[in-house]
């Protein structure tokens, strides 16, 4: 989560949560039949996670401590729009996904 250089990334933790879900799903429903089916399930799981994160963030934003300013606005300003930073972050995410054999940028299974 907290890297040596001070950056924060949850790529490994998210990937581990998705892998845990895949294992539980396959134990209950049977093995996924193809890379496409696996990719679709992974995509769906990530979508559910995103919805949950957005809902959590919105719930937090309703707190009086933020007044009328949604904390997402502050976050967007802090993240900036530096292309090199985004490219570096994407490369780290792709590495985490490729280690697990997830489809990513056409290099996955």
The pLDDT assigned to 58 comes to 87
Query: Are the C-beta atoms of residues 18 and 45 closer than 8 Å to each other?
Result: yes
87-102: per-residue pLDDT in tens?
777 887 788 878 888 7
- Which are the contacts of 102, defined by CB distance < 8 A and separation ≥ 6? 15, 39, 42, 108
58-67: per-residue pLDDT in tens?
888 888 888 8
Tell me the mean pLDDT in the region 16-44: 94
Q: What pTM was computed for the model? A: 0.73
Query: Are the C-beta atoms of residues 21 and 45 closer than 8 Å to each other?
Result: yes
User: Which ranges in 1-109 belong to alpha helices (H)?
Assistant: 11-29, 35-61, 71-79, 83-99
For the CA atoms of 104, 91, 42, 98, the dihedral, rounded to the nearest 10 degrees, stands at 60
């Amino acid at each position: 989560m907290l890297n040596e250089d001070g950056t924060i990334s949850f790529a490994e933790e998210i990937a581990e949560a998705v892998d845990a879900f895949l294992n539980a799903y396959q134990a209950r429903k049977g093995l996924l039949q193809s890379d496409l089916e696996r990719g679709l399930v992974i995509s769906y799981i990530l979508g559910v996670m995103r919805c949950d994160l957005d809902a959590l963030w919105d719930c937090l934003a309703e707190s009086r401590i933020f007044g009328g300013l949604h904390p997402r606005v502050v976050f967007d300003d802090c993240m900036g729009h530096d292309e090199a930073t985004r490219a570096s972050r994407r490369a780290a995410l792709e590495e985490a996904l490729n280690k697990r054999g997830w489809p990513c940028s056409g290099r996955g299974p």
